[in-house]
Structure 1
Amino acid sequence: MLAVVVVMGLLAACGSEQSGAGNQPSGGGSQSRSIAGADKLAACPSVPSRPPVANALPDISLPCLGNGPDMRLSALRGPLVVNVWAQWCGPCRKEAPYLAALKKKAGGKLQLVGIDYADPRPELAVKFATEQQWDYPHVVDDEKATQQALKIAGPPLTAFVDQDGAVVYVHRGELTSQQQLDQLVREKLGVTW
């Protein structure tokens, strides 16, 4: 019986390895995702190489969920809102419209980046991000590479990054209203519209 369980576990692991999901958390180059609909997502921009600063996002590179190069998180500068989400996460689904509305309202005054976290179904993540009309780039953290640095117990988590690249505030759990998110952006990043 134990042999059957071991064989089934190995077969399941092989199946997930062959999904083409791009499982490298710190890959070095441009990631061409072969996920249906990924080309409809905002492409990840090329981020200039910058030295990490104190209290920065973790110094790792993650592959783009859509098209574009891997993104080195510690090189990102704000004002920036980073949202950790997964398509299987109920609270992430509830707060999704607030993030889409924030991007529309704030325009060029604020950047947003999504991190698709521990998500075993990248095709459903692409579908979800597209349905939510998230018009900003998303990266993939299917190996939980950001977990320790951001102290992620699970999604959702929203980090606020200032113009110098420092994480000035982390909101753990669901954002419960548009007013709450807008107020956090004003208070923590000084961005108004």
Structure 2
Amino acid sequence: MWGVALAVLLTACGTEKPAAAPSGSPSSAAGAGKLPDCPSTPSKPPTTGALPDVSLRCLGSGPDVRLADLRGPLVINVWAQWCGPCRDEAPYLAALAKSGKIKMLGIDYDDPRPELAVKFATDEGLAYPHVVDQDKAIQRALKVAGPPLTAFVDKDGAVAFVHRGVLTSPQQLNQLVKDKLGVTP
């Protein structure tokens, strides 16, 4: 029984999070200027199977990002600074971003501490734009039970695949990018 409970715990962080602490807007969080700017994307009509039509505030600098405007190939990672498995997979995501072969976006999900989220992203070398979803706006569309979750978006903006739970190796992540998006990292 403990094995099953441990396996479930290691698969995803679920919905538990620490109590909220007073803080400013995400872009005013300490160190936010160290993160890459969020992209300014032209407005596009939503496509079938696309990301939800919600706009999320940039964790660092830059404009809000309307998810429905994004096109791939793109890897979106849903994370939170309080999520242990998110920390485990962060080096694989950082390495993929450094390859420069694919666009990436992080979504800091249901996270009450933007200053700690900025610290997490910078400490882990997640050198790609990040947005904030404190209100769980993507929960229904992507069926988010909790972080981590990684979505693969194709060139037309459709969600080609969603991996729920922790990524276990850089090879697994690279294989998913290749199989789901046709890009060899």
In the superposition, the TM-score normalised over structure 1's length comes to 0.84
2:97 aligned with 1:103, yes or no?
yes
Based on CA coordinates, which of the two structures has the bigger radius of gyration?
A: 1
Is contact 2:106-2:130 (8 Å) kept?
A: yes
Aligned-residue CA RMSD (Å): 1.4
Aligned to 1:165: 157
Q: Which consecutive unaligned segments of at least 5 residues does structure 1 have?
A: 1-12, 23-32
Aligned-residue identity in percent: 71
Counterparts of 1:114 and 1:131, CA distance in 2: 14
2:124 aligned with 1:151, yes or no?
no
Q: Which consecutive unaligned segments of at least 5 residues does structure 2 have?
A: 1-18
What number of residue pairs does the alignment pair up? 167
Aligned to 1:57: 51
Counterparts of 1:19 and 1:138, CA distance in 2: 18
Cα offsets for 1:23-69 (capped at 9, x unmatched): xxxxxxxxxx2111000001101011000000101000000000000
2:32 aligned with 1:38, yes or no?
yes
Structure 2 residue matching 1:47: 3-state secondary structure: coil
Structure 2 residue matching 1:63: 3-state secondary structure: strand
2:132 aligned with 1:137, yes or no?
no
Q: Would you identify which runs of 4 or more consecutive aligned residues in structure 1 move more than 4 Å?
A: none
Kindly state the Cα deviation for residue 19 of structure 1 after the two structures are TM-superposed. 2.1
Cα offsets for 1:116-155 (capped at 9, x unmatched): 0000111000000000111110000001011001000000
**What amino acid is the match of 1:93?**
R
Counterparts of 2:80 and 2:46, CA distance in 1: 26
Aligned to 1:187: 179
Counterparts of 1:20 and 1:35, CA distance in 2: 6
* Structure with more relative contact order (C-alpha pairs < 8 Å, separation 6 or more): 2
